Amino acid sequence: MIKVKAEDITKVFHSKNGNTGTNGCVEALGGINLEIRTGEFLAIVGPSGCGKSTFLEILGGLIKPSCGSIYIDGKAVSGPNHDRGIVFQGYALFPWRNVTENIAYGLEEKGVPKKTRNEICRKYISLVGLSGFENHYPYQLSGGMKQRVAIARALAYDPDILLMDEPFAALDAQTRDTLQGEVLRIWEETRKTVLFVTHNIEEAVFLADRIAVMSVRPGIIKRIIDIPLSRPRFEEFRTSQDFIKLRQEVGSIVREEAKSATNS
């Protein structure tokens, strides 16, 4: 089953030079074709500036592609909707709302009545391990805890698809490892379709079923690598031979792609 289909997605950014009056164009995405299967965990890796975040925001409906279409369950979509949830690198929590109120935001917008909202919030707060912090404001939380809130908030209104844009890039190594494990556990429990953008190859191999490798200028998907490793994966998995071997393989493929992109 194909959940999400991206067809020939291109994105050109225009930049007007005020001094010379000339119009510049930057082709951020040069025709992306990608299919994400229902319930799979797909990671996109690529060097910074390859347009992977732009692609994620197009999938999320936050920006429009210059050309091409996005299909979800076979239907073309434009604009954001409750069938997709986004987790941003910068957490994007509302500082004036406490943990519960942040998680309730999407539910409010969906029109869920208050009583049900509170029940759902409680459930997701416990799912991400934040019980006892219901009334804390974002400034009172650590980076890892903020990202837990952001994940709970994106899950709370029950989207089919979770789009994660380098969610752990700003966290320290230990917190990152812990949260990767948490995301896998939550994914096993909820079986959402996940698109996870990262530049960290180890993270991609640890989490994903498949890895899409992107190249820079134009941003296109160069290769898709299957990660045929068993699940569920726990912390010990990081030291297994299979994992280490595959991580090296993927690493060299990504480096090759990066090299050929700079040579051409």
Partner 1 sequence: MSGKKQNLQRTLRKVIALLVFFILWELLPASGIISKVYFAPPSEVFVTLVRLMISGELWLHTSISLQRAITGFGLAAIIMIPLGFLMGWYKSFEEIADGLVQTLRQTSSLSLFPVFILFLGIGEVSKIAVIFWGAQWPILLNTISGVKSVDPLLIKSARSMGSSAISLFRKVVIPSSLPSIITGLRLSATHSIIVLVAAEMIGAKSGLGYSVINWEYNFMIPEMYAAIVTLAVLGLITNYSLVWLEKTTTKWKEEINIT
Footprint of partner 1 (CB under 8 A): 57, 60-62, 80-82, 84-86, 88, 90, 92, 94-98, 105-106, 108-110, 137-139, 153, 157
- Report in angstroms how near the CB of residue 61 gets to partner 1 at its nearest: 8
- Report in angstroms how near the CB of residue 59 gets to partner 1 at its nearest: 11
- Report in angstroms how near the CB of residue 60 gets to partner 1 at its nearest: 5
Q: What distance, in Å, lies between the first and last C-alpha atoms of the chain?
A: 36
Which residue matches tokens 């190249």? 215
DSSP 242-263: HHHHHHHHHHHHHHHHHHHHHH
Of 82 and 217, CB closest to partner 1: 82
| Inter-residue contact 147 to 87 (CB < 8 Å) | yes
| Inter-residue contact 161 to 3 (CB < 8 Å) | yes
Closest to 130 measured CA to CA, from 169, 176, 94, 182: 182
Of 13 and 105, CB closest to partner 1: 105
Strand partners, 34: 6
Of 196 and 206, CB closest to partner 1: 196
Which residue matches tokens 């290769």? 223
Long-range contacts of 183-189 (CB under 8 A, 24+ apart): 183/151, 183/207, 184/231, 184/232, 184/233, 185/232, 186/127, 186/128, 186/151, 186/155, 187/41, 188/231, 188/232, 189/127
Of 40 and 57, CB closest to partner 1: 57
- Report in angstroms how near the CB of residue 81 gets to partner 1 at its nearest: 6
Which residues lie closer than 8 Å to 18 by C-beta, 6 or more apart? none
Sheet order of strands, 23-37 included? 23-37, 2-16, 67-72, 75-77
- Report in angstroms how near the CB of residue 190 gets to partner 1 at its nearest: 17
- Report in angstroms how near the CB of residue 231 gets to partner 1 at its nearest: 28
Of 30 and 143, CB closest to partner 1: 143
Q: How many CB atoms lie within 10 A of CB 132?
A: 10
Of 90 and 132, CB closest to partner 1: 90
Of 124 and 243, CB closest to partner 1: 124
- Report in angstroms how near the CB of residue 63 gets to partner 1 at its nearest: 9
